[in-house]
Amino acid sequence: MNGFTNYDRYDGLGLAALIAKGAVSADEVLEAAIARIEARNPALNAVIHRMYDEARRAIAAGLPEGPFHGVPFLLKDLYTFAKGAPCGNGSRLFADFVAEFDDEMVTRHRRAGLVIVGKTNTSELGISVTTEPAAYGATRNPWNPAHVAGGSSGGAGTAVAAGMVPLAHASDGGGSIRCPASACGLFGLKPSRARNPDGEGWAGLAVQHAITRSVRDSAALLDATHGPLHGAAYWAPPPERPFLDEVGVDPGRLRIAYSLALPSGYEPHETGRAAVEDAAALAADLGHTIEPADPPINRDALLTAMITILESHIADTLAAPLGPGSPPATAQDVERATWLIGRRGTKRSAVDYVRAGWIIRDVQRKLADFFDTYDILLTPTVDHPSPLLGAIDSQSDDLEAFYKATVGFIPYTQMFNMSGQPAASIPLYWDQAGLPIGVQIAARLGGEATLFRLASQFEQARPWFDRRPPD
């Protein structure tokens, strides 16, 4: 029996500090993490690939002296390659795939001293905003296991909220870091486009980072991983100083706009409105200037562009899933929504794709202009409480209903995947049923420092670290 019984009362940097001063060993911390996963995962299904022996070998071989030396960590099982580990991408289609190398993000995670203990569940190919893949089963929300944990990084969100690890790798092409962070009562930052390597997925919409319990863990991890790959098509403006140094710094008097504007056919939910009004009042109490203002973007065109890009890229994946020359996927290999999205993608023209690119650039320019006036835009992350499992059906023939439900999750998050700007979900509000509802803060391109300053100010004013789901 491992004696380190209060493992989940520390964030990642806290665990690393204990290890550094000899209060506990990396082996003891690992065994505590394994015990927590084995105790809580059967009911929640967050971790789908265990890498315990590999983790033990990594510690025995000697870990790098990074900021997270000895801290247990989970990788999202979506196009994330750790040598010798499966990468199923939430799909039967990749059930037998095993990575032959560590990708760049995994290399940087290991260099930071993190100990990889497994991989987390994700929706098939990252398409759905709920993590309920047919291949691996549903991930449940630890605040209420009848409800969804969000997606596509739902396994990461559930694992951190349930205390399995203090932080977990996640990725975001339309809200897939921020939506699970909202659903699970955690901090989730989507960095600027190309802040981390491999920021070119889904036409540059997708980025990688993490879901964390503390703001400082997010900042320290970004310090450890950011920077372009050699030959990258583009990269984010370099920070003036380490992101961790921004945590706890007075952000000054910020000009904050708040907005509830949505695409046609959608109305703000009363819960999301209440969460934003609550956060706006808190920001005002902290001395910031708050006023309503809607970015002048065409939200309907934005969704058209997003769907065009999604359908085109899924069609490409299904045409040769294991690389050039591999056999194409069949309808039996994937969920029904995935198949239908891919079939639509085969009908998209090059002109459609180019027009989607022009819409992205229009969003970029208009949001850049908006942030010449405002430092922060405050919105709901997901403006409604997490629905029950099964509410979004990826096995239905009704693709329009699938899209409608999906857009209901991401109408506030997706614009920042288009613009490339950093945005974060902050756990400041819980509804009457006890489910967390995040609020989103976004800053200008390259403005993570402002987000870390404001987020840590919120964290100090209304701490959430010890607010935990029931065991």
What is the set of active-site residues?
76, 152, 176
Which residues make beta-bridge pairs with 388? 147
Strands 423-430 and 436-442: antiparallel
Nearest by Cα to 446 from 213, 234, 214, 280: 234
- Taking CA atoms, 404 is separated from 241, 312, 393, 399, 412, in Å, by 42, 19, 11, 9, 14
Q: Give Cα 243 to chain centroid, integer Å.
A: 18
Measured CA angle at 139 (ends 47, 101), to 5 deg? 35
Collapsing DSSP states into helix, strand and coil, what is residue 295?
coil
CA distance 449 to 405: 33
Q: What does the angle CA 85 – CA 87 – CA 91 come to, to the nearest 5 degrees? A: 145
Scanning the structure block, which residue is given the tokens 């997490």? 386
Distance CA 444, CA 192 (A): 9
Contact assessment for residue 341 and residue 314, using Cβ atoms and an 8 Å cutoff = yes
Cis peptide before 152 (omega within 30 of 0): yes
Both tokens of 45, joined, read 């299904």
Cα angle 139, 412, 440; round to 5: 80
Nearest CA among 462, 37, 96 for reference residue 275: 462
Q: How far is CA 107 from its chain centroid?
A: 19
